[in-house]
């Protein structure tokens, strides 16, 4: 599913990023394909999302979040 | 010896730079605080070493202007026969991000020292084991320092001394990074993107092993609770509040109101003291120095001119206090999150908000701060509209003009009426910024895709030293930069008002008793000023400004304000001091209030004051802003458009206001 459709505060696995620049920028911050992350919140009026992993918290716009495919991981 | 500092945003590079050089520079908890290369020097055993601090980058793949500055500087080092030693700073709290850049720098074949920056004291036994492993892996020296306290700096200097004599070895002669560097140079090429991605992925994968070996539990074992985790939970608790979809905006709004009240109400007393101090100084110079041309130039020209600037230091200090607190604490990035969607319809990005808010302090650093905006179109629109934000240089003009309209005791409910008018002017500036941005957004050609990916740093208690340093630095540069202009303008004004070429001026200057006796002393002083060069200049432009309700005296101030708008008050102070022949030391507001038209009505009527307020809110009256726009846009096109649009709309709106009100 797309990151924008993913539920909040669930363990997510990044499965695909459909934009090279976006993927490089996410990799730099430690959010590559096959990495785990959490969707935390979204600013009002379809504003940016906040996303975190164990080490880092980032914000990204919804159009970029739309380019990221994730799957839900079982609790663990 | 030359040293270069590179590292991720917010990893402590600039703190270390300050440690090395003692040179004061702003450090913020907001990615992109260093937006240009900073240079300084320090000594090791009497030998002077130069050091450059580069803007923070996560990798050699640059997105924004500030990142390009850093990446280009690093790629240029590669071409040198003896490249300087690069200190790659790694925040020990998040080595996973920092090591990507380190591995790229190492592969470039540059002489590197890895510097771990820690903020809290920790027992480093496990860390040092890890460092040893890294040293073995990368074959470069690693050290740990505390950039805030300076701990470990001595050892680092020793290491620099030793490294100086070592030969540069290109450790990876066949490294893909050389190829990578080539691809980076053509980063806009879409094929390059996939190559860069491939190499970045490769490097990242190689780092997984290093990442997993990082003794993250060390902190946890040594301290009851992992300090990083503690900061994280504090951060997430605060984020729940400060990034809340309602409370987040309420808190941001309230903090803006507090800033305006502080700028106006809290600084009132210190401003009075400064004003009285300068008044006293003027009286003393008159009383104790010999009566001659120079004494008059000092007491009637330079002192009133300088007083007009120094008096606003308390207000500027408060403004920078809040901006520094926002940046230092990490709150600024939360503002980006809250505001991005709201400013997007205007062609701006969440990253534009920080430069726009900084525009409340000064347009020059604000325009430079737009380098963190990745999309060129959003960057240009932000730069174009920043000068409409109410910069601190407008405060002297607004305060003086507002004081002409109403008494300082007037209030509306619990609010001070002058404060409310000032607040309204700030809103007007912001409105004009967004309105102009909207027009530019509609008119300008669409650029490439805009992207906003930002790290949210953990909140931290602002460092007292850094905040005080920021306030000191900014106030000092305001006083000195404006002061230089003010002294020159004051001297020029004094000279031009004491030289004249027509008959009337000569008669007064030669003390022609038959002519002089027809007038009272004050009338004579005004007549002399009116017939001096500066008076004639004011008279020359009077036909153009008469429809706005301005006379030749305001005309003189308008001319001088094009150097810098705050010069208005200094010029008015000088003109009225000259006119009163120096025997009236009451405040400039009082003097302006008692100035009458020939028909006995007040010269500064509500219509004139409002028209002036509108003019000063919109006109592009700052040479430094024009210069910085020229530099940032590499040409005269945009500064010229900006100047014509701002000043033209200022004239038309001021005209409209006066004609409607009078």
Report the SS3 class of residue B589. Answer: helix
User: Can you give the CATH number for the domain in which B134 is found?
Assistant: 3.40.50.300
pLDDT of residue B181: 66
Report yes or no on B456 lying in a domain: no
> Does B312 have pLDDT greater than 50?
yes
> Does B166 have pLDDT greater than 70?
no
Task: Calculate the average pLDDT of chain B.
Answer: 81
Residues B175 and B252 in one domain: no
Q: How large is the average pLDDT for residues B534-554?
A: 90
Q: What is the pLDDT of residues B368-426, one digit of tens each?
A: 778 778 788 888 999 999 999 998 789 889 988 998 888 777 777 777 888 889 889 98
Q: Which helix (H) or strand (E) holds B529?
A: helix B521-531
Report yes or no on B133 lying in a domain: yes
CA B538 to chain centre: 33
> Does B224 have pLDDT greater than 50?
no
Residues B433 and B515 in one domain: no
B590/B164: higher pLDDT: B590
CA B272 to chain centre: 26
Q: Which of B572, B575, B394, B589 is nearest to B482 (CA)?
A: B394
Q: How large is the average pLDDT for residues B15-32?
A: 65
Number of folded domains in chain A? Answer: 1
pLDDT of residue B383: 94
CB A68 within 8 A of CB A51: no
Residues B436 and B470 in one domain: no
User: Angle A66-A71-A74 (CA atoms, 0-180°, nearest 5)?
Assistant: 145
CA distance B20 to B150: 9
Q: Which of residues 334-393 of B touch A (CB under 8 A)?
A: 336-338, 340-342, 350
pLDDT of residue A42: 94
Q: What are phi and psi of B566, to 5 degrees?
A: -65, -15
pLDDT of residue B439: 95
pLDDT of residue B210: 64
Per-residue buried b or exposed e for A10-26, using 16+ beta carbons within 10 Å of the residue's own CB? eebebeebebbbbbbbb
* Inter-chain touch A20–B193, beta carbons under 8 Å: yes
Report yes or no on B255 lying in a domain: yes
Per-residue buried b or exposed e for B567-588, using 16+ beta carbons within 10 Å of the residue's own CB? bbbbbbbbbbbbbbebeebebb
pLDDT of residue B30: 52
Q: Which helix (H) or strand (E) holds B266?
A: none
B204 and A CB contact within 8 Å: yes
Residue A74, min C-alpha distance to chain B (Å): 22
Q: How large is the average pLDDT for residues B538-542?
A: 90
Residues B303 and B167 in one domain: no
Q: How large is the average pLDDT for residues B477-506?
A: 78
Least confident of A29-38, B215-224, B350-359, B643-652: B215-224
B185/B224: higher pLDDT: B185
Residue B248, min C-alpha distance to chain A (Å): 10
Report yes or no on B231 lying in a domain: no
User: Can you give the CATH number for the domain in which A58 is found?
Assistant: 2.30.30.90
> Does B647 have pLDDT greater than 70?
yes
Domain around B419? 247-388+400-443
ipTM entry = 0.95
Least confident of A41-45, B144-148, B382-386, B543-547: B144-148
CB B273 within 8 A of CB B466: no
Report yes or no on B535 lying in a domain: yes
Residues B527 and B381 in one domain: no
Residues B207 and B320 in one domain: no
Residues B421 and B559 in one domain: no
B492/B429: higher pLDDT: B429
> Does B552 have pLDDT greater than 70?
yes
* Inter-chain touch A64–B336, beta carbons under 8 Å: no
Please, which pLDDT band fits residue B430 given cuts at 50, 70 and 90?
Answer: very high
Residue A24, min C-alpha distance to chain B (Å): 6
List of chain B residues whose C-beta atoms are within 8 Å of the C-beta of residue A55: 94, 96-97
Report the SS3 class of residue B115. Answer: strand
Q: How large is the average pLDDT for residues B363-370?
A: 78
Residues B218 and B251 in one domain: no
Q: Which helix (H) or strand (E) holds B397?
A: helix B394-405
Please, which pLDDT band fits residue B492 given cuts at 50, 70 and 90?
Answer: confident
CB B349 within 8 A of CB B373: yes
CB A45 within 8 A of CB A29: no
Report yes or no on B129 lying in a domain: yes
Q: Which of residues 34-73 of A touch B (CB under 8 A)?
A: 40-41, 43-48, 50, 55-61, 64
Residues B143 and B187 in one domain: yes
Report yes or no on B229 lying in a domain: no
Neighbouring residues of B50: CB distance < 8 A, sequence distance ≥ 6: B1, B2, B3, B39, B40, B41
Domain around A31? 3-72
Among the partner residues B97, B196, B456, nearest to A30 by beta-carbon distance? B97
Per-residue buried b or exposed e for B435-460, using 16+ beta carbons within 10 Å of the residue's own CB? ebbbbbbeeeeeeeebbbbbbbbbbe
pLDDT of residue B578: 65
Please, which pLDDT band fits residue B286 given cuts at 50, 70 and 90?
Answer: confident
pLDDT of residue B31: 55
Number of folded domains in chain B? Answer: 3
B25/B84: higher pLDDT: B84
pLDDT of residue B180: 65
CA distance B27 to B63: 22
Q: Which of residues 228-257 of B touch A (CB under 8 A)?
A: 235, 239, 243, 245
Residues B276 and B378 in one domain: yes
Residues B267 and B190 in one domain: no
Report yes or no on B286 lying in a domain: yes
User: Angle B600-B613-B279 (CA atoms, 0-180°, nearest 5)?
Assistant: 70
B267/B26: higher pLDDT: B267
> Does B572 have pLDDT greater than 70?
yes
Quick count: other Cβ atoms within 10 Å of Cβ B45? Answer: 7
List of chain A residues whose C-beta atoms are within 8 Å of the C-beta of residue B197: 20, 23-24, 27
Least confident of B69-78, B179-188, B297-306, B552-561: B179-188
DSSP-derived letter for residue B146 is: B
Q: What is the pLDDT of residues B330-363, one digit of tens each?
A: 898 899 999 999 999 999 988 888 788 878 877 8
Please, which pLDDT band fits residue B222 given cuts at 50, 70 and 90?
Answer: very low
CB B306 within 8 A of CB B282: no
pLDDT of residue B509: 83
Residues B158 and B104 in one domain: yes
Least confident of A20-29, B190-199, B279-288, B450-459: B190-199
């Amino acid at each position: 599913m797309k990151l924008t459709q993913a539920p909040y505060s669930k363990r997510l696995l990044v499965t695909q990023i459909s934009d090279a620049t976006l993927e490089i920028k996410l990799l730099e911050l430690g959010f590559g394909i096959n990495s785990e992350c959490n969707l935390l919140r979204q600013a009002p009026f379809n504003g940016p999302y906040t996303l975190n992993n164990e080490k880092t918290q980032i914000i990204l716009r919804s159009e970029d979040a739309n380019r990221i495919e994730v799957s839900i991981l079982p609790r663990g | 010896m030359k040293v270069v500092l590179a590292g991720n945003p917010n990893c402590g590079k600039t703190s270390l730079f300050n440690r090395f050089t003692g040179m004061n520079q702003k450090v913020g908890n907001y990615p992109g605080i260093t937006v240009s290369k900073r240079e300084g020097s320090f000594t090791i055993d009497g030998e002077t070493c130069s050091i450059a601090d580069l803007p923070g980058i996560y990798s050699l793949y640059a997105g924004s202007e500030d990142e390009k500055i850093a990446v280009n500087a690093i790629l240029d080092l590669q071409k040198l026969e003896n490249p300087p030693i690069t200190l790659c700073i790694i925040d020990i709290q998040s080595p996973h991000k920092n090591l990507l850049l380190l591995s790229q720098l190492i592969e470039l074949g540059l002489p590197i020292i890895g510097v771990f920056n820690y903020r809290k004291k920790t027992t480093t036994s496990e860390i040092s084991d890890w460092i040893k492993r890294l040293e073995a892996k990368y074959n470069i020296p690693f050290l740990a320092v505390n950039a805030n306290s300076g701990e470990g700096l001595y050892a680092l200097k020793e290491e620099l001394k030793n490294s100086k004599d070592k030969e540069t070895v290109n450790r990876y002669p066949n490294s893909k990074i050389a190829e990578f560097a080539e691809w980076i140079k053509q980063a806009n090429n879409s094929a390059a993107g996939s190559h860069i991605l491939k190499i970045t992925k490769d490097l990242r994968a190689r780092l997984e092993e290093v990442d997993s070996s990082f003794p993250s539990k060390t902190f946890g074992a040594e301290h009851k609770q992992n300090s990083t985790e503690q900061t994280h939970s504090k951060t997430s608790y605060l984020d729940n509040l400060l990034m809340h979809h309602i409370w987040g905006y309420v808190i941001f709004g309230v903090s803006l109101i507090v800033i305006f009240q502080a700028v106006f109400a809290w600084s009132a007393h210190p401003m009075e003291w400064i004003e009285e101090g300068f008044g006293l100084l003027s009286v003393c110079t008159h009383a104790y120095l010999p009566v001659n041309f120079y004494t008059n130039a000092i007491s009637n020209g330079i002192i009133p001119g300088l007083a007009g600037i120094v008096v606003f230091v308390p207000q500027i200090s408060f403004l920078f206090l809040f901006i520094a607190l926002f940046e230092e604490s990490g709150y600024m990035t939360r503002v980006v999150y809250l505001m991005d969607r709201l400013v997007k319809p205007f062609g701006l990005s969440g990253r534009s908000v920080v430069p726009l808010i900084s525009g409340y302090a000064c347009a020059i650093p604000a325009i430079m701060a737009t380098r963190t905006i990745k999309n060129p179109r959003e960057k240009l629109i932000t730069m174009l509209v920043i000068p409409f934000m109410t910069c601190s240089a407008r405060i002297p003009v607004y305060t003086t003009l507002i004081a002409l309209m109403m008494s300082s005791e007037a209030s509306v409910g619990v609010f001070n009426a002058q404060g409310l008018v000032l607040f309204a002017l700030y809103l007007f500036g912001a409105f004009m910024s967004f309105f102009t941005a909207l027009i530019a957004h509609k008119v300008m050609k669409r650029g490439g895709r805009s992207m906003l990916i930002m790290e949210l740093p953990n909140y931290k208690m602002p460092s007292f030293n850094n905040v005080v340093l920021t306030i000191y630095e900014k106030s000092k540069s305001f006083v000195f930069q404006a002061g230089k202009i003010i002294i020159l303008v004051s001297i020029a004004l004094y000279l031009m008002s004491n030289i004249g070429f027509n008959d009337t001026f000569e008669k007064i200057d030669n003390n022609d008793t038959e002519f002089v006796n027809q007038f009272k002393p004050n009338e004579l002083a005004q007549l002399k000023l009116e017939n001096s060069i500066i008076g004639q200049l004011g008279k020359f432009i009077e036909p153009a400004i008469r429809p706005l309700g301005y006379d030749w005296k305001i005309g003189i101030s308008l001319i001088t304000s094009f150097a810098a708008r705050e010069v208005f008050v200094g010029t008015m102070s000088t003109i009225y001091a000259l006119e009163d022949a120096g025997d009236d030391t009451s405040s400039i507001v009082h003097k302006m209030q008692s100035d009458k038209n020939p028909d006995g009505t007040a010269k500064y009527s509500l219509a004139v004051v409002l028209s002036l307020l509108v003019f000063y809110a919109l006109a592009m009256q700052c040479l430094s802003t024009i210069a910085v726009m020229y530099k940032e846009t590499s040409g005269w096109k945009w500064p010229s458009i900006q100047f014509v649009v701002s000043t033209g709309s200022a004239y038309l709106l001021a005209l409209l206001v006066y004609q409607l009100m009078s």
